[in-house]
């Protein structure tokens, strides 16, 4: 294992508040020196970080790796490699695979494939119920022992309230965070976009905000009863955000994330039946987008995720009504985080916190920090370098992004996991 000395970069660690031009020393997979060089430390490799931002590796709470089951869209190897190139060092894949991630065998398959790539770390999320069918509880203790960091409905809400209550109670006994999707399926099925004047003008069935708030009200009632640590995935509306804020103020152990695209796009972007803007939950109106931005800035919403869903070209080849929902988001997660700073939505430290330490805290994992003794997971980027998102510049196998053609700022130069260089390639690393 190489000992690495990173010199002269602007180190920003949101968790500790560190923001200074300083050096980092890495040995035995961990940070061994921040600022001062330890006695006797001799580096095998020196990285000149002059002019670069040095931040914790990003943690993405919402991803679909498509394997097992949909390898025609993407594979674990393709997406963890894309993540490494994007500065992401931890991915939390959804249990909505085929077969569903509800057994230790599937968890071991995913983690083994990920290890074989020697790229970004994968922390699987297990299924809350067997087959995500909402009828029988999964073996949560076994899933946790196999490596799952949380359990989730995988975007398929449990409709039986008694089963959901038992699932929350069972998860609490194993100290597992439960991730729930606040979407009422009866109010969502058969619709393609936000219900509002844009959907009316287009003649497209819309999904009302009540689909989110009705589900949230049900979930919050059960959290109040059980006290289970619960995380709500992909909040999309101002009213949902208000319900979350009140629940947190009353002391409920709840948190939430928002997909990055909900902070930049609205239902207006769906005009023209754009299939690239077909997502679930749907893109809401401008007022909802503004409220979500305020909630992220204030910390009411703790995490921003990519909601990465790579698709094959056929899935987005038709119009909105013929397309599958989802955006390929891993390539743009960091650059759009920096765009939030550029747009003055929040300061740099807060923006980085939502994709590093705050995301780690949702799961209770010791990641997303630059602290002596902790795993040396890092991203080094040039914050001023512009680039354009094109199909050719995307590393993910899925090219389905509504941000294609956007000029972005912030290019990743290095990604390190446990002190090992993931990006650029090890061959280039050897010559550095």
| Active site (catalytic) residues | 307
Angle in degrees, CA 197, 220, 137, rounded to 5: 110
Q: How many CB atoms within 10 Å of residue 210? A: 14
Query: Rounded to whole angstroms, how far apart are CA atoms 33 and 28?
Result: 12
End-to-end CA distance of the chain, in Å? 16
Query: Rounded to whole angstroms, how far apart are CA atoms 15 and 369?
Result: 6
**Cβ contact 185:157 at 8 Å:** yes
Pairing of strands 420-423, 407-417: antiparallel
**CB proximity list for 225: less than 8 A, separation 6 or greater:** 165
What's phi and psi for 301, nearest 5 deg? -100, 120
Query: Rounded to whole angstroms, how far apart are CA atoms 298 and 186?
Result: 32
Q: Phi-psi region for residue 51, left (φ > 0), alpha (ψ -120 to 50) or beta?
A: left
Strand partners, 193: 206
- 3-state secondary structure at position 82: helix
């Amino acid at each position: 294992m190489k000992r690495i000395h990173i010199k002269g970069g602007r180190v920003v660690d949101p968790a500790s508040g560190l923001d200074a031009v300083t050096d980092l020393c890495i040995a035995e997979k961990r940070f061994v020196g921040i600022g001062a060089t330890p006695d006797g430390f001799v580096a095998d490799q020196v990285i000149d970080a002059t002019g670069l931002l040095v931040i914790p590796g990003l943690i993405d709470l919402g991803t679909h790796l498509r394997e097992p089951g949909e390898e025609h869209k993407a594979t674990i190897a393709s997406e963890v490699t894309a993540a490494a190139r994007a500065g992401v060092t931890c991915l939390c894949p959804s249990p909505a695979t085929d077969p569903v991630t509800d057994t230790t065998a599937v968890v071991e398959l995913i983690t083994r494939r990920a290890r074989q790539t020697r790229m970004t770390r994968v922390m699987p999320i297990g299924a809350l119920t067997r087959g995500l069918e909402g009828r029988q509880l999964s073996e949560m203790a076994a899933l946790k022992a196999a490596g799952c960091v949380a359990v989730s409905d995988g975007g398929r809400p449990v409709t039986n309230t008694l089963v959901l209550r038992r699932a929350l109670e069972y998860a609490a006994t194993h100290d597992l965070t439960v991730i729930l999707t606040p979407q009422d399926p009866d109010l969502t099925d058969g619709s393609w976009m936000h219900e509002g004047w844009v959907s009316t003008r287009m003649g497209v069935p819309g999904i009302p905000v009540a689909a989110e708030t009705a589900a949230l009200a049900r979930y919050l009632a059960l959290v109040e009863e059980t006290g289970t640590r619960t995380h709500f995935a992909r909040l999309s509306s101002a009213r949902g955000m208000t319900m979350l804020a009140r629940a947190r103020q009353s002391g409920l152990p709840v948190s939430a994330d928002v997909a990055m695209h909900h902070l930049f796009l609205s239902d207006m972007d769906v005009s023209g039946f754009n299939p690239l803007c077909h997502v679930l939950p749907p893109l809401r109106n401008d007022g909802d987008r503004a409220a979500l931005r305020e909630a992220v800035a204030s910390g009411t919403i703790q995490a921003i995720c990519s909601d990465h869903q790579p698709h094959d070209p056929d899935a987005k080849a038709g119009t909105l009504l013929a397309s599958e929902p989802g955006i390929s988001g891993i390539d743009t997660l960091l650059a759009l985080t920096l765009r939030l700073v550029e747009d003055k939505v929040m300061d740099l430290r807060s923006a980085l916190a939502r994709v590093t330490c705050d995301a780690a805290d949702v799961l209770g994992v010791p990641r997303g920090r630059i602290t002596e003794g902790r795993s040396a997971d890092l991203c080094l980027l040039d914050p001023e370098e512009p680039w354009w998102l094109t199909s050719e510049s995307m590393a993910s196998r899925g090219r389905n992004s509504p941000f294609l053609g956007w000029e972005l700022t912030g290019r990743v130069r290095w990604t390190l996991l446990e002190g090992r260089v993931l990006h650029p390639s090890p061959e280039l690393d050897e010559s550095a």
